[in-house]
Amino acid sequence: MQASEATPQPCVSLITGAASGIGRRLAQDLFAAGHSLILVDRDLNGLQSLTEPFPGRFTLVQHDFAQDTGLDEHISAAIEEQGRLSGLIHVAGVSHVSPLKALSRADLERVMAINTFSAFDLVKHCSKPRHHRPGMSVVFVSSIYSLVGSAANSAYAMSKAALNSLARSLAIELAPRCLRFNCVAPGFIRTEMLDALAQRMGPDYLAELERLHPLGLGRAEDVSNAIQFLLSDRARWITGSVLSVDGGFTAQ
């Protein structure tokens, strides 16, 4: 066996929303597993604090999906630096709690731009053969609200349900090229985003959320574990799926 055959090339994964919450935990786990990473977030300080222990194994891309342009060029340059992608994980997203009567078209378009159109732009660019390795696995972080209804969440639900459909369609379309597309649909997990929402909603909000999950609120590592499985060869025959990672929320 040649030395080059015995030495596997490190996997390269691109994660959006990597500075905090699920994306940050996933980045930490993939670094620990030996991946090189391309990390995208509007919070450059957050990305820098994450990557300090891993010199050379990352490329940072500061990008705000709500307003910035030019992501394709930055991603191409990052792939040039780190290597072609084995994994693409779109975690970046915003919540938007607003009843219909307070929800404007502009609000809806903003939520869709960050949560959904960004995913479309990413896969369109990264699915070009020169940007990925054979068998690249793509994972979108969707939501329980892509599967069940919730008052005052129509914009968010629309944006996440669209990810499910995008994954299913691309799973069929790009199966001949051995690309896999899946979603994870997390329930409520303790992140900064949830804590900020809880502050607005009142002292009983978190307790009520806990009650709605048979296994209690989740943790970022729970979702990271599921994503890592879908990225791995163990999920080689899984595509077009939406994996509920929700402590039983949608089983009720």
Question: Which residues would be at the binding site for another protein (CB under 8 A)?
Answer: 97-99, 101-103, 107, 151-152, 199-203
Q: Is the CB of residue 207 less than 8 Å from the CB of residue 220?
A: no
The backbone region for 205, taken as left when phi is positive above 0, alpha when psi lies in -120 to 50, beta otherwise, is alpha
Decide: helix, strand or coil at residue 94. coil
Q: Put residue 202 in one of left, alpha, beta given phi > 0 → left and psi -120 to 50 → alpha.
A: left
CB of 98 to another protein, least distance (A): 4
Cβ proximity to another protein, 101 vs 130, nearer residue:
101
Give me the least distance between CB of 153 and another protein, in Å please. 10
CB neighbour burial string for 57-87, b if at least 16 within 10 angstroms, e if fewer: bbbbbbbebeeeeebeebbeebbeebebbbb
- Continuous H helices in the chain: 3-6, 21-32, 44-51, 71-82, 105-112, 118-126, 154-173, 192-201, 205-212, 220-231
Whichever of 178 and 201 has its CB closer to another protein, that residue is 201
When the beta carbons of 130 and 200 are compared against another protein, the nearer one is: 200
CB-based contact 19:62 (threshold 8 Å):
no
Smaller CB separation from another protein, 120 or 205: 205
Q: For the CB of residue 37, give the shortest distance to another protein in the complex, in Å.
A: 33
The minimum distance between CB 5 and another protein, in angstroms, equals: 57
Least distance in angstroms from the C-beta of 17 to another protein? 22
Task: Output 152 or 238, the one with its CB closest to another protein.
Answer: 152
